[in-house]
A and B are shown apart, each in its own frame.
Chain A
Amino acid sequence: MKIVTVCGMGFGTSLMVKMTIDDILNEVGFNAEVEASDIGSITGRVADLFVTSTEMQNQFSGIESDVIFLKNMTDKQEIREKLLTYLNHKAKR
């Protein structure tokens, strides 16, 4: 699975979210490639899952991959809950 975290420039928040996701995946033993990206380069970018901020919602309207929208990009608890819910759901499908 490929996960891309997205913020405005791909240098700050998206990296913080990426590191948090790496830790969670490591802990639960799930294998995925996680990359950080800026919002400007998501069109045409191949990913199974994007993780970004609710404030970016409009810019994801044409995206067909799954997207997790976070209210707080730095809330580790929110990232964990939404990511694990997604992965569980995905596993059942």
Chain B
Amino acid sequence: MGEDEGPVLQDLLHEQSIKVVHRCSNWEEVVKIAGEMLLREGAVEEQYITAMTQVIKEHGPYVVITPGIALVHARPEDGVQEVCMSLLVCREGVSFGNTEKDPVHLIFAFGAVDDNQHLKALSQLMTLLNDEACIHKLRSSSSVAEVLAVLRECVN
């Protein structure tokens, strides 16, 4: 399989695609902020943000894949130009309506162009999500620089 193809996590998560905010009012706002980082990079079209919101409305809060962490995305045909990912750290946490896994502190948004080119980054993300110490550090980061430092330390 083509797991070795495509960008690595740190190609995707950089200064422009990471944001740390203190408070978020609701999940819609969170998805918008995470999506706008991808939009500003030119990696997705504006409709992709609407599509990500729609997916959550349709499929429900299962996007909260593990306690405190949401993975939001739509389909390649919803307006993805290139493989991309953004990370929003919401210090106070936000509810996605998932009683068991709320509040969410880390929101990863991504865009895929097919079912292959984002595999390397997803695989690295999976490993990161299984590292409790790193996740704790990410959640308690108070600046983009801190987040980047954690990623440098935790992702290889």
> Chain A contact residues (Cβ within 8 angstroms of B): what range?
20 to 34
CB-based A-B contact count at 8 angstroms: 61
Interface residue B38 (Cβ < 8 Å from any Cβ of A): no
Binding site for A on B (CB under 8 A): 1, 3, 55, 59-63, 65-67, 69, 71, 73-76, 110, 112, 115, 118-119, 122-123, 125-126, 129-130
Binding site for B on A (CB under 8 A): 7-13, 15-16, 19-20, 22, 36, 39, 53, 55-56, 72-77
25 contacts between A and B (CB under 8 A): A8-B59, A8-B62, A9-B73, A11-B73, A11-B112, A11-B115, A11-B118, A12-B110, A13-B71, A15-B119, A16-B122, A16-B125, A16-B126, A19-B119, A20-B126, A22-B1, A55-B62, A56-B62, A73-B65, A74-B65, A74-B66, A74-B69, A74-B129, A76-B126, A77-B130
Extra pairs beyond A8-B63, A55-B60 (18, CB < 8 Å): A7-B62, A8-B62, A10-B115, A11-B75, A12-B73, A12-B110, A13-B65, A15-B122, A19-B122, A19-B123, A55-B62, A73-B65, A74-B65, A74-B66, A74-B126, A74-B130, A76-B130, A77-B130
